[in-house]
Structure 1
């Protein structure tokens, strides 16, 4: 009788922290509790967070996802996504006498407040971010057209010509690459030493922590698996950070998208998840890896997150 072939050993370094951040957790809870409190359907303008699995689960509970308010009936609750919305959106909802819940992450709202403060002080505003991302659309939509200039690259920062270099300020999208953003800010400060900066870093704690954990993991791993959707900015950035740190990095939705052949020459594989990816997807990927390899899982990272955000008062009071 032939002895069963043993599986090759493989170390899996599990990045910590990973997965849901406080803003994502709050946004998902808002949709869940709205359905629980008001019944289905509850409408959601734009994907509540950028993860297909989360969206599909909420659809099954009774959420209906739309791109614009005109697709929503006026007699059903509507939730605004975690990425934030232009001021015109709640104004339209009020005009139509709609009941709405704003799931904008409080750290995105902080950027909105900063941009308004700079505008009120007469400053010209630069927003560092990615064209078309809902967070960028929401932030630019806080102010009149032309009040904010979007800059995506160091080259654009070097080519930018302000109306008055002495009345200039910058804000940033919350889910950017920390290192790339530092380069862009450096280019702006080199040209405009008096530029006003945020009181506190705009890139959120969760983005920063996950990128730092990925750097630690990727330095020890030959392959990095990032679990998250392709339209998730923070997930895409994690894969970029991993590649920059020397690992072959793959962004995958779930275990079904994992090609085990990627791991054939690896001794150590890093695994992380974007801020909108549920932990069960991480465990599913590890389970698939274990089908072919003798897996030893080790957690890598130091930051422990204790941040939480309150739900909207209208929702908590209605649920009582």
Structure 2
């Protein structure tokens, strides 16, 4: 342990998921496999949406944004522990730590807002089907996506600004596998009250609760609209178009609640790493599976591309 007795640090050491040496190899291959599946699944979704004109619709435009976010957030959060196992270097500079925290927070907030935009898209598709193509035109989709990315980019600046000003830390060993807010606050011996208050007020209300409310409010109108559909086939089809999105949303928010809305103790920091690993590795891997396995259009698009690939090989 490299304890810094209330002194300023120039670098941090990422402890990783587990400090037990006998588990390191198993954890490395587990995380690597999950990461490769995340890359493969999301790259497949992204390529299909870009290459198949049948998928050039608002829903798949936002799904492509979600895939970019999943690939990016997994890479940002997992690259250090994967690299540390191969090189033995688990150090990260102080500026590098702040940059990692900023990028990851930006991507995480963007994902919540993109899911909100997808919820609005489903609302228009089911509740206003005759005006869907007019409301959700290409300009509106681009505007919504831009607002999601830029708003998140600005929202997380105060956190990094305050965190980077902390003058001392009790240790330079981060009990986590990347630079996240909770373990950094636990390490700091500076006055963290302002950042904790900001995290409670803005983080809970603006960054979390507001997207949550904006995401689930359209589903009140969606469910009401679906229940007014007379035929069972129509109701089933309407529910089917929303099932993938609502599954991803519930999965993500449940993980975030378990990860951040709990008291900070030594035991909670250990369990926080597991929830964080699930959020940063497993959820991005599951997202393309949920959308592809439950989505007929994606499966048909994949079959068309595979068929074209086989035809081109035979020529």
Q: TM-score, with normalisation over the residues of structure 2?
A: 0.27
> Which protein is richer in helix relative to its size?
2
> Which protein is richer in strand relative to its size?
1
Q: TM-score, with normalisation over the residues of structure 1?
A: 0.27
Relative CO higher for 1 or 2, CA cutoff 8 Å, sep ≥ 6?
Answer: 2
